[in-house]
Chain A
């Protein structure tokens, strides 16, 4: 079984994709069948992921590759393939498990929706495409799956098609990520030009292996930066982060699965996957491309954390928090802590999915109220949601010892503090940790503590089909920390391919004291500021100008509106003007020449020829009437006539030999 799955990893993504096709095939009214197909497909993917995970445990640095020829193009053969290594196996497990929890949650959350089965078809399709991204062994195959997850994201953000805001958000997400993907695709072409292959691993000849990395030379920096463009778009990094908060227009399970746990992390995964290209010619672990990654990550992480402090929509706060955490992961990759970044990605997948599903449960219980200022006092009304949300909040804030996020965040801080080029990212990340604890405390105080406010009068706990996934994810967020501790850094060593040893002396590191102090500072600052949470925000009273700046997301959307969007509008108007005045005028002038000749001939006609022709026309009129009946104006009738004519010609040809 084990060796069988390592040579057939493509089966893992095909299970949910087949489920998706079956759901689409079985129609809109087959709601129970839709759920059954989706969940069975996901369980199949999860089971196969577990079987694929087992062999990677036995050998350190395990890597199974199967390549095959896609097509032969003249002399060249183009090959694609699948790879199974610790990075892919860990991602497979996380995606399949989180996906399954979210599928089950959706059964409750979407129960009243008329397009229930379409939702599950899209969700399964997304899951399959995302699993495909992880196991692709060719940059082009990865790009194909990458675009498929982009399509699934577009379809699911705009799932409620009758809302104009959802349609606009879907379009914004698709177009913004397309800008990044343009760079990504150019990077792929450049890489293919230089190395002649897009396979990652190919027995020494792949593009991530030494021979072709040497051939890249100085162009490696540019290729890496172009590929990073794609990651910037997909992972919502500055300056292309604007689509991610708007993507919250989609249903909450979608936000949990796509825009928190898996797809947005694909950018981080991509950088980790092609890391050898980023680190070509590294001196002391620093290259120009990695430096760019670090600074983009730092700017994104800090900016998004600042904005999150002043948002009032429960999902938007989490969205900005996701952007901020992705920035943190990018910093980690940039400073050389690849394993730390991926560990944070995995841990983040669990606890951010948990937080989003918790938010979904709150929204469901409050009958689609999303403004945290109208919530309050839900602690007693929704106890399970509250408990699990608190676990998620502490994991996200980075409370050490018991929560996975604490350990991984500490690893990242540790890696960043050793970056040889500058210490500024480290201090900015510390500030980010305080802000994270602050905005999560603010959110939890507004939503769960204090008295009930207008939105929470009618609140009720969600059904068990929704709370069960919450409990599972909360347990994962806690238990996951077992493999992350510095005393037994099993996961980090698993990813880097080294054996792990148990050493309890390493449990207490100096950075853990720092992060404990910072989280404590953030939480107590939050409690102090928001101790009297009411319908208004305490920060808004103290610093109205600053609050407005942050509440309006630093006016980045408006800046884009005035620059990029306005520029293309001007271009469009310019070509419209050109069309109307220049080209149209030209056409009209030529037309006038024709008109002039027309007038000349008219007069000749009317005076000379008319009389003779009048006689003939009455006959032609009758014929014309007959002919005009054939002109039904039905384009399909015409097309049918063309097809029949063609058939007649073919038959004639066949008959003549």
Chain B
């Protein structure tokens, strides 16, 4: 049986991997994947805290996680649509080249 701190360590590791992916990958889709991993880490935290709460019988944590998953799905759809739109416009999904907002 895993303890709360074990789950939190896994979640923190997942978050860091996702953050690293979002910061270092150059391809827009990999950045999206990194963001999804960070969301997954947050969901894992919800579930973990819910599971080890005084009253795990009330499915609050799992409901929050399910909502977060649904929102993440919508976000991924929007994000992928934006990647496609960006690709059509710039003929590239390399985020290094997308610097129109440069000051």
Interface residues of A (CB under 8 A from B): 73-75, 627-636, 639-640, 643
Contact = CB atoms under 8 A, between A and B. Distances in A.
Contact of B103 (A73, A74, A75, A633): A633
B102 interface: yes
Contacts of B57: 74-75
Nearest to B62: A73
B9 to A, nearest CB: 16
Given A639-B22, A639-B23, A74 B58 contact: yes
Contacts of A634: 95-96, 99
Interface in B15-67: 19, 22-24, 31, 57-59, 62
B100 interface: yes
Given A631-B102, A636-B22, 19 more contacts: A74-B57, A627-B103, A630-B103, A631-B101, A632-B99, A632-B102, A632-B103, A633-B98, A633-B100, A633-B102, A634-B95, A634-B99, A635-B98, A636-B23, A636-B24, A636-B95, A640-B23, A643-B19, A643-B23
B23 to A, nearest CB: 5
Given A73-B59, A74-B58, A633 B23 contact: no
Contact of A631 (B31, B58, B103): B103
Contacts of A635: 95, 98
A640 B31 CA distance: 13
B101 A633 contact: yes
Contacts of A629: 103
Interface residues of B, number: 17
Contacts of B99: 632-634
B27 to A, nearest CB: 11
The 6 closest A-B CB pairs, nearest first, are: A628-B103, A633-B99, A633-B102, A631-B103, A74-B59, A633-B101
A73 B58 CA distance: 9
Nearest to A628: B103
A51 B57 CA distance: 42
Nearest to A637: B23
B98 to A, nearest CB: 7
Nearest to A635: B95
Contacts of A628: 103
Contacts of A643: 19, 23
B61 to A, nearest CB: 11
A139 B62 CA distance: 22
Contacts, number: 37
Contacts of A627: 103
Nearest to A638: B101
Contacts of B101: 631, 633
Contacts of A640: 23
Nearest to B66: A73
Interface in B56-103: 57-59, 62, 95-96, 98-103
Contacts of A639: 22-23
A295 B96 CA distance: 58
Contacts of A75: 57
A400 to B, nearest CB: 54
B87 to A, nearest CB: 15
Contacts of B58: 74
A75 B58 CA distance: 8
Contacts of A633: 98-103
A324 to B, nearest CB: 38
A13 B84 CA distance: 36
Nearest to A640: B23
16 contacts: A73-B62, A74-B57, A74-B58, A628-B103, A629-B103, A631-B103, A632-B99, A633-B98, A633-B100, A633-B101, A633-B103, A634-B99, A635-B95, A636-B95, A639-B23, A643-B19
B43 to A, nearest CB: 14
Contacts of A631: 101-103
Nearest to A632: B102
A74 B66 CA distance: 14
A74 B96 CA distance: 47
A101 to B, nearest CB: 37
Contacts of B62: 73
A33 B9 CA distance: 35
A627 B102 CA distance: 11
Nearest to A74: B59
B93 to A, nearest CB: 12
A634 B98 CA distance: 7
Contacts of A74: 57-59
Residue among B24, B98, B102 having the largest count of chain A Cβ atoms under 10 Å: B102
Nearest to A630: B103
B58 to A, nearest CB: 7
B7 to A, nearest CB: 15
Contacts of B22: 636, 639
Nearest to A646: B19
Nearest to A636: B23
Contacts of B98: 633, 635
B41 to A, nearest CB: 13
Contacts of B100: 633
Contacts of A632: 99, 102-103
A275 B43 CA distance: 39
Nearest to B95: A635
A115 to B, nearest CB: 19
A636 B99 CA distance: 11
A87 to B, nearest CB: 34
A628 B24 CA distance: 23
A640 to B, nearest CB: 5
A378 to B, nearest CB: 46
A499 B24 CA distance: 65
B67 to A, nearest CB: 14
A242 B102 CA distance: 50
